[in-house]
Structure 1
């Protein structure tokens, strides 16, 4: 695919970021849920990572993230049933995470509450471990059924960003989460677009870079390269 004039400079800009495959992955579906929920409207390094690490430590997990190839072979150390059994209400989770953030400023709920609601929904659909989550990714109908219920949890961000991000964390390389940082980077590079168009752009860029570099550059690789560059500004 040869990029057209409108996205050619964008492809060049992303190429300069040297997008690379995922290097680390959470070892538990519970950690993916925590990341997906707490990431909305929060600083990743200052708030999200500490939350996941505190919960991991509470379960005695010393290494909550590892290389994807290793995570694939591991048994989930904190399946959702264990999370729900230990944290029976939002206050119990808040005590461990030391984070009282809301999912949104208007009509939002505590993020701890949203985590437990997400966990309950996934658990009801038989997705209790990271392996279950990966298996669900190959069943579009099941993902759609789960998404239909997950979207009822308040404060998911524009165009279902939180849901899309959860599947990304589980292992979906095609889904992207053009959050405000990605949108801001795109705007600075000549594409002031909404979330829907941003998703299309990142997929187009991934296809162009795959052809140019003669290796697979997934939409996730593009999204993460942009997000990381913006985070480090």
Structure 2
């Protein structure tokens, strides 16, 4: 694994991406889990946002999302509280009003996938956005949790569901590059693991900030690469 001595081509490639600042952040880890699970194979505005907002409203959360950063906010719906409140799939379905499955054939209800995600995280002592961000800084512990989340049906190609969850959770400077981001970096000459990629994304953000004349965060670079890689993969598998 290596990082090219000359980062100029990589910096140029990042500058060509659609770099957009994060506009909002869910205030609860529970809402991040809903977003990640329901987003796979579903229209975001028509299906995902309504589900997240219904759950937030039912839990009494008046402001489900806020502009970043959110480092000092208390999680209004920790996973322990969430799992106590919605202790069965049926209870959750009554609130979500959504019976989508993780896959048309052989998939489980997304409501069940949410509960299984939440249970795995909770069993590892992760209950809030802050807890999850701490997890992102602990590679060994992270790999254990990530591997268990992978066992829940509906992960999508390249683990897109998990990658999206970590993206929703990460703060502006603490990101967890997934396999699509790592493959994009490798194609551009930086064959690195996730730990080295985190450092590289921060460096790239600093270089691009100078070039664009505004602060670009590691999250922006990670998100732009992820979105670009996902778009290319979708086009390759779209068919006529």
TM-score, normalised by the number of residues in structure 1: 0.77
RMSD between superposed Cα atoms in Å? 2.8
Q: State the match for 1:72 in structure 2.
A: 71
**Is the 1:158–1:195 Cα contact (8 Å) retained in structure 2?**
no
The offset of 1:108, in angstroms, is 1.1
1:62-105 deviation per Cα after TM superposition (whole angstroms, max 9, x unaligned):
11000222x32111100111111111111211111111111112
Relative distance call for 1:22 and 1:12 in structure 2 (3 A) is closer
Alignment of 1:1-233 (within 5 A): 1-3=7-9, 8=12, 10-11=13-14, 13-14=16-17, 17=18, 19-69=19-69, 71-171=70-170, 173-176=174-177, 197-198=183-184, 200=186, 210-214=206-210, 217-218=216-217, 220-222=219-221, 224-225=223-224, 227=227
1:158-215 deviation per Cα after TM superposition (whole angstroms, max 9, x unaligned):
121111211111115533568xxxxxxxxxxxxxxx7763464697898656424416
Q: State the match for 1:191 in structure 2.
A: none
Q: State the match for 1:184 in structure 2.
A: none
**Is the 1:177–1:199 Cα contact (8 Å) retained in structure 2?**
no
**Is the 1:56–1:62 Cα contact (8 Å) retained in structure 2?**
yes
SS at 1:74's partner residue?
coil
Paired residues, number:
207
1:2-54 deviation per Cα after TM superposition (whole angstroms, max 9, x unaligned):
117xx95x54532xx3x233221100010011011011111111111111110
**Is the 1:206–1:218 Cα contact (8 Å) retained in structure 2?**
yes
5+ residue gaps, structure 2: 1-6, 189-196, 232-240
TM-score, normalised by the number of residues in structure 2: 0.75
Alpha-carbon separation, structure 1, partners of 2:204 and 2:147: 32
The offset of 1:151, in angstroms, is 0.8
